[in-house]
Structure 1
Amino acid sequence: MIRWLGAVMLVVPTLAFAQGDNQIGERAFQRCYSCHSVTRGEKGLSGPNLAGLSARAIASDSDFDYSKAFRKFASSNPRWTPDLLDRFLTDPQAVVPGTDMGFFGLKKANERAAIVAYILGER
């Protein structure tokens, strides 16, 4: 959802996605597919599976060996919220210092909002 606040545009990730919005999120998520899947049960990628991310604790995919930094982060952040995931996608190292994730972040708020809604929303 996009809201105008005077001369400033605010992009607010929403979890309710229309079909067209879901396609935008899926397209934006393409940059994540090399390491992550949103297909339940898919294994063998270099990052954890993100299916059902909103319904489970952070760093709780039993098929993935999380870094010490990510396990520490998870101990004080029980679940991904839209805001927390947006901040992480902006600058992973700032949110989880020492993470092994080789991703430098997304600067475009509209891309992050689409990915957040796609990952945390119902598809």
Structure 2
Amino acid sequence: MKKLGLIATTLLLIATSSAFADGDIKKGKKVFTKCKACHAVGEKAKNKVGPRLNGVVGSGWGTIEGFKYSKTLLAGKEEGRVWDIETLTAYLNKPKKVIPKGKMAFAGLKKDKDIVNVIAYLSQFNKDGTMK
């Protein structure tokens, strides 16, 4: 049943032409506090345990300079994988299901709305960390 809700949320997001049309940016910023130990976003963002996430929505896998990605993620890069809404939704729900041997230790976000909101929050940042 929960999987059905995640799929429905993903399809709703895809159906809207904007990646964050259904999300709440302010709530997404609050959810992102769970990610801050390992990731940064914004103009002064730097890589931490995980890569900075500026411009991640819609970008290719493994594209942040200076970050050492797992072999599995780099294989996805070679395949041309992209952090589209569907992939980000699945990854934020269960990272190890999308990248089984990836470095991310976080188990995932359990609430569908938290995922939608954090994607909305991340969607507002350009690659250089400025706001869209």
**Bin of the TM-score, shorter chain as denominator length:** 0.7 to 0.9
State the match for 1:109 in structure 2: 112
TM-score after normalising by structure 2: 0.74
More deviation, 113-122/85-94: 113-122
TM-score of the aligned structures, taking structure 1 as reference length = 0.79
Match of 1:36 among 36, 39, 43: 39
Runs of 4+ in 1 over 3 A off after TM superposition: 8-14
Q: Render the CA deviation track for 1:91-116: whole Å, top value 9, x for unaligned.
A: 11111110011111111101111111
* 8 Å contact kept, 2:19–2:123: yes
Q: Does 1:15 align with 2:19?
A: yes
Extract unaligned runs of 5+ from structure 1.
Answer: 1-7
Instruction: Count how many residue pairs are aligned between Structure 1 and Structure 2.
Output: 115
1:29 maps to a residue whose letter is: F
> Counting strand residues as a fraction of each chain, which structure ranks higher?
1
Write the distance in 2 (CA, Å) between the matches of 1:63 and 1:42: 13
**What letter is aligned with 1:33?**
K
Which ranges of structure 2 fall in alignment gaps of 5 or more residues?
A: 126-130
Could you tell me whether the CA contact under 8 Å between 1:88 and 1:95 is conserved in 2? yes
Alignment pair present for 1:83 and 2:86: yes
Find the counterpart in structure 2 of residue 70 from structure 1. Answer: 73
| SS of match in other structure, 1:97 | coil
Q: 1:73 to 1:29 in 2, by over 3 A?
A: same
- Give the greater-gyration-radius structure (CA): 1
C-alpha distance in 1 between matches for 2:20 and 2:119: 11
